[in-house]
């Protein structure tokens, strides 16, 4: 049992099981499931091809061509080169109606694959000056293949569609190369949501190792964390390691700041309201055992689910670092780079979508997922229009979830039965939303 908050004319909170959710939804056309199943082999083939030829953010040239060529063959209006390598396509239904957007991310990660499959990636490239392997270690290859399948499924029933579908194949979800713009933020900046046809809602999904294949997970409200980066440069005064009193030690000061930062979550955040994370990932300073350096630098990440708490964490990091440094006779220069916002599922849209997903998943297979401190730039779309983001389980049913390699692991492996489930879910949401709105 779980509570879904329904807002609107009848403001109420109802405890609903997946069976009840399914009963509340209008029945989906049986042909959607049949059409998705008929495309399963093509979707798997596309996914394997993309997996074998991964490309990093803003460099998805081959993937974008594969997508664009497919969409053009379907008769869609196709625009390429959006936000460097993005592809946007429009399918106009045969009947008047609203506009909905569907999004898939295309980029891979600088990870060397260790999965033993015939289509494993052997690609290497240069990333931030380093020679690296490239792998679809987060499932984006599956997302692209799923949306290509959805485009074909919906194009086949174009005459019956009451409205328009805008397909958004997005580059650089994992972040653009240093010194470049990219991702959802750049696509929005270039007008993907403002140019005609303008979507009134957007759907996205993610293959997830946290759930078994066959399971669909969703969550109303904050589902994935905002992600920010902080850098603290502590400046002291250099001295010989044998005479520490002659200088100001930035290493000891940095250690005190690092410990002080731990009190932000443990003592200052209302964790029963929303969780938060403050992690220092690197701490660098000095070059020799007997030389106290004049500078030290630490870099870390901030994860929050509430905008007020997010601002509070930022302010506390600045205050703690500055005041501890001052007390030691040093200075601290704090820089906070704002990253992805909270992936916040529109509650009305989520309450509408859950019964549709319940029908797709089947009895007991739709679950309310837990919050994840991972981040997702789909959140930028949700800041502009109502958006719903959900997870499709990708771990083989016979593998314990606590043993499954996580997304971003070189061992991440997708149970390919999840692909057709994702395609059916996205197509069903699209057909149902256009019909009901």
* Tokens coding 23: 């009963």
Contact indicator for 59, 132 with CB cutoff of 8 Å: no
The question of whether 218 is a catalytic residue gets the answer no
Q: Give dist(CA 101, CA 201) in Å, integer.
A: 6
Q: β-pairing, 387-395 with 201-212?
A: parallel
SS (H, E, C) the chain: CEEEEECCCCCEEEEECHHHHHHHCCCCCHHHHHHHHHCHHHHHHHHHHHHHCCCCCCCCHHHHHHHHHHHHHCCCEEEEEECCCEEEEEEECCEEEEEEEEEEECCCECCCCCCCCCCCCCCEEEECCEEEECECCCCHHHHHHHHHHHHHHHHHCHHHCEEEEEEEEECCCCCCCCCCCCHHHHHHHCCCCCCCCCCCEEEEEEEEEEEECCCEEECCEEEECEEEEEEEEEECECEECCCHHHCECHHHHHHHHHHHHHHHHHHHCCCCCCCEEEEEEEEECCCCCCEECCEEEEEEEEEECCHHHHHHHHHHHHHHHHHHHHHCCCEEEEEEEEEECCEEECHHHHHHHHHHHHHHHCCCCEEECCCECCCCCHHHHHCCCCEEEEEEEEECCCCCHHHCCCCCCCCCCCCCHHHHHHHHHHHHHHHHHHHHC
Which residue is associated with the tokens 């992600």? 227
Q: Residue 106: which of 40, 37, 47, 181 has the closest Cα?
A: 47
Contact indicator for 144, 169 with CB cutoff of 8 Å: yes
Please identify which of the residues 40, 297, 368, 416 carries the catalytic annotation.
Answer: 416
* Tokens coding 37: 């199943």
Contact indicator for 351, 390 with CB cutoff of 8 Å: no
The question of whether 77 is a catalytic residue gets the answer no
Please identify which of the residues 113, 211, 218, 340 carries the catalytic annotation.
Answer: 340
By annotation, the residues acting in catalysis are 340, 416
């Amino acid at each position: 049992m779980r509570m879904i908050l329904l807002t609107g004319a009848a403001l109420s909170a109802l405890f609903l099981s997946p069976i009840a959710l399914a009963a509340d939804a209008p029945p989906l056309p049986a042909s959607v499931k049949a059409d998705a199943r008929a495309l399963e082999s093509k979707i798997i083939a596309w996914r394997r091809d993309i997996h074998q030829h991964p490309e990093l953010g803003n460099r998805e040239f081959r993937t974008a061509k594969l997508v664009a060529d497919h969409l053009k063959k379907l008769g869609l209006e196709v625009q390429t080169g959006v936000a460097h390598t993005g592809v946007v396509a429009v399918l106009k239904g045969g009947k008047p109606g609203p506009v909905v957007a569907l999004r898939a991310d295309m980029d891979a990660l600088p990870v060397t694959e260790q999965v033993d499959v015939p289509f494993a990636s052997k690609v290497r490239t240069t990333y931030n000056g380093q020679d690296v392997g490239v792998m679809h270690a987060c499932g984006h290859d599956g997302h692209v293949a799923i949306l290509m399948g959805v485009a074909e499924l919906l194009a086949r029933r174009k005459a019956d569609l009451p409205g328009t579908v805008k397909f958004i194949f997005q580059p650089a979800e994992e972040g653009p190369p240093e010194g470049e713009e990219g991702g959802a933020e750049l696509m929005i900046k270039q007008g993907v949501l403002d140019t005609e046809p303008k979507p009134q809602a957007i759907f996205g999904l993610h293959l997830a190792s946290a759930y078994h294949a066959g399971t669909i997970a969703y969550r109303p409200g904050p589902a994935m964390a905002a992600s920010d980066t902080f850098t603290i440069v502590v400046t002291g005064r250099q001295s010989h390691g044998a005479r520490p009193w002659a200088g100001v030690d930035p290493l000891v000061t940095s250690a005190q700041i690092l410990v002080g930062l731990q009190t932000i979550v443990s003592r200052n955040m209302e964790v029963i309201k929303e969780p938060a994370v403050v992690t220092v990932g690197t701490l660098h300073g000095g070059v020799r055992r007997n030389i106290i350096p004049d500078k030290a630098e630490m870099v870390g990440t901030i994860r929050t689910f509430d905008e007020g708490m997010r601002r509070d964490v930022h302010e506390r990091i600045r205050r703690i670092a500055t005041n501890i440094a001052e007390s030691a006779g040093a200075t601290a220069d704090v820089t906070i780079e704002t990253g992805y916002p909270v992936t916040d599922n529109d509650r009305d849209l989520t309450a509408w979508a859950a019964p549709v997903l319940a029908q797709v998943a089947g009895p007991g297979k739709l679950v309310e997922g837990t919050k994840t401190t991972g981040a997702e730039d789909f959140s930028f779309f949700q800041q502009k229009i109502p958006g719903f983001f959900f997870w499709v389980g990708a771990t083989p049913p016979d593998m314990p979830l606590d043993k499954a390699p996580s997304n971003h692991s070189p061992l991440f492996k997708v149970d390919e039965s999840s692909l057709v489930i994702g395609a059916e879910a996205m197509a069903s949401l699209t057909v149902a939303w256009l019909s009901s709105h």
